[in-house]
Amino acid sequence: RSNNLQGYAPICLGFEDFYKRRLYLRIQDCFGRPISSAPDAWLDVIERNSNDNNKTLKRTSNISRCLNLGSYNYLGFAASDEYCTPRVIESLKKFSPSTCSSRADGGTIMMHNELEKYVANFVGKPAAIVFGMGYVTNSAILPVLISKGGLIISDSLNHSSIVNGARGSGATIRVFQHNTPSHLEEVLREQIAEGQPRTHRPWKKIIVVVEGIYSMEGDLCKLPEIIAICKKYKAYSYLDEAHSIGAVGKTGRGVCELLGVDPADVDILMGTFTKSFGSCGGYIAGSKELIQYLKHTSPAHLYATSMSPPAVQQIISAIKVILGEDGSCRGAQKLAQIRENSNFFRSELQSMGFEVLGDNDSPVMPIMLYNPGKIPAFSRECLKQNVAVVMSAFPATPLLLARARICISASHTKEDLIKGLEVISRVGDLVGIKYFPAQPKEQ
Ligand code: PMP
Rg (CA), the chain: 22
> How does pLDDT run across 68-78, given as a tens digit for each residue?
999 999 999 99
Shared domain check, 164 and 19: no
Cα(65) to ligand 1 centroid in Å equals 26
Show the domain range for 369.
13-79+330-431
311 closest CA partner among 112, 126, 172 = 112
Q: Is the pTM of this model over 0.90?
A: yes
ipTM of the prediction: 0.99
Cα(242) to ligand 1 centroid in Å equals 6
In a domain, 443, yes or no: no
> How does pLDDT run across 47-56, given as a tens digit for each residue?
776 554 444 4
311 lines ligand 1 (CB under 6 A): no
In a domain, 149, yes or no: yes
In a domain, 347, yes or no: yes
C-beta separation of 259 from 229 below 8 A: no
**Percent of the chain surpassing pLDDT 70:** 90
Cα(289) to ligand 1 centroid in Å equals 25
**By three-state DSSP, how is residue 376 classified?**
helix
Shared domain check, 122 and 52: no
Q: How many domains does the chain have?
A: 2
> How does pLDDT run across 316-373, given as a tens digit for each residue?
999 999 999 999 999 999 999 999 999 999 999 999 999 999 999 999 999 999 998 8
169 lines ligand 1 (CB under 6 A): no
User: CATH number of the domain that 118 lies in?
Assistant: 3.40.640.10
- The pLDDT assigned to 344 comes to 98
Shared domain check, 203 and 54: no
Q: How confident is the model at residue 57 (pLDDT cuts 50, 70, 90)?
A: very low
pLDDT at 222 over 90: yes
As a whole number, mean pLDDT of residues 85-100 equals: 97
**By three-state DSSP, how is residue 327 classified?**
coil
348 lines ligand 1 (CB under 6 A): no
Shared domain check, 141 and 283: yes
Shared domain check, 281 and 166: yes
- The pLDDT assigned to 18 comes to 61
pLDDT at 22 over 80: no
Shared domain check, 127 and 69: no
Shared domain check, 408 and 339: yes
**What is the number of other CB atoms lying within 10 angstroms of the CB of residue 263?**
17
Minimal-distance CA residue to ligand 1 atom 13: 134
Cα(272) to ligand 1 centroid in Å equals 6
- The pLDDT assigned to 2 comes to 38
Shared domain check, 121 and 59: no
In this structure, the chain runs to a length of: 443
Which residues have CB under 8 Å from 366's CB, separation 6+? 216, 217, 218, 356, 357, 358, 392, 403, 404, 405, 406
279 lines ligand 1 (CB under 6 A): no
Which residues have CB under 8 Å from 289's CB, separation 6+? none
Minimal-distance CA residue to ligand 1 atom 14: 134
pLDDT, mean over the chain: 91
- The pLDDT assigned to 393 comes to 87
In a domain, 264, yes or no: yes
In a domain, 248, yes or no: yes
- The pLDDT assigned to 26 comes to 78
Q: How confident is the model at residue 199 (pLDDT cuts 50, 70, 90)?
A: low
As a whole number, mean pLDDT of residues 303-321 equals: 98
What is the rounded distance in angstroms from the CA atom of residue 171 to the CA atom of residue 145?
Answer: 10
Which residue among 71, 157, 274 is best mutated to probe the pocket of ligand 1, counting the most ligand atoms within 8 A of its Cβ? 274
> How does pLDDT run across 175-193, given as a tens digit for each residue?
999 999 999 999 999 988 6
In a domain, 317, yes or no: no
* Lowest-confidence segment of 171-180, 190-199, 304-313 by average pLDDT: 190-199
Shared domain check, 73 and 111: no
Shared domain check, 173 and 138: yes
C-beta separation of 408 from 41 below 8 A: no
pLDDT at 15 over 80: no
Task: Write out the H or E segment, with its range, that includes residue 87.
Answer: helix 84-95
Strand partners, 152: 173, 207
Which residues have CB under 8 Å from 340's CB, separation 6+? none
> CA–CA distance from 96 to each of 87, 109, 204, 308, 310 (Å)?
13, 12, 44, 8, 8
Note the maximum CA span of the chain.
65
Which residue among 138, 161, 214, 315 is best mutated to probe the pocket of ligand 1, counting the most ligand atoms within 8 A of its Cβ? 161
The DSSP call for residue 252 is S
**By three-state DSSP, how is residue 57 classified?**
coil
C-beta separation of 6 from 180 below 8 A: yes
**What is the number of other CB atoms lying within 10 angstroms of the CB of residue 419?**
17
Cα(137) to ligand 1 centroid in Å equals 9
What is the rounded distance in angstroms from the CA atom of residue 300 to the CA atom of residue 253?
Answer: 25
Which residue among 272, 276, 405 is best mutated to probe the pocket of ligand 1, counting the most ligand atoms within 8 A of its Cβ? 272
